[in-house]
């Protein structure tokens, strides 16, 4: 089965510019996650979708970050305007919920964002 797809793999922008990342989860996976991984740290959850609804966006900086999953399949994460501290790898993950808390998340290759 195909894995989680993400694009682009790399992006370099100037501060105050906008950028968008795309994710296509594993087919049939209802839950989709976006994580931010800053160099030297573990991934931090930004937002979790269940189908096309938001389950948890408590750590999403909503003044500049937005995400959508309109049809419950692929998703887009946007940053506008970008700041230097947004430089990180943005990871998308998906899973197919089984029993509560037992499901394994599968990750895409990530998008490495550099803000200059």
Partner 1 sequence: AQSVAQPEDQVNVAEGNPLTVKCTYSVSGNPYLFWYVQYPNRGLQFLLKYITGDNLVKGSYGFEAEFNKSQTSFHLKKPSALVSDSALYFCAVRDPGYSTLTFGKGTMLLVSP
CB of residue 8 to partner 1, shortest distance in Å: 13
CB of residue 34 to partner 1, shortest distance in Å: 12
Using CB under 8 A, which residues numbered 79 to 108 contact partner 1?
A: 91, 93, 100-102, 104-108
DSSP annotation of 103: P
> Cα–Cα distance between 79 and 67 in angstroms, integer?
9
| CA dihedral angle for residue 9, residue 91, residue 69, residue 47, rounded to 10 degrees | -150
Contact residues toward partner 1 (CB under 8 A) are 4, 6, 40-45, 48, 55-56, 91, 93, 100-102, 104-110, 112
């Amino acid at each position: 089965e195909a894995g989680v797809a993400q694009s682009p793999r790399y992006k370099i922008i100037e501060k105050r510019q906008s950028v968008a990342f795309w994710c296509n989860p594993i087919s049939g996976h209802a839950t989709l996650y976006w994580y931010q991984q800053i160099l030297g740290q573990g991934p931090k959850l930004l937002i979790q979708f269940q189908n096309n609804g938001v389950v948890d966006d408590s750590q999403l900086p909503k003044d500049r970050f937005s995400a959508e999953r309109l049809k419950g399949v692929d998703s887009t994460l946007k940053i506008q305007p970008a700041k230097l501290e947004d430089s990180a790898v943005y990871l998308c993950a998906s899973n197919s919920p089984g029993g509560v808390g037992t499901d394994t998340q599968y990750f895409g290759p990530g998008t490495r964002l550099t803000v200059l």
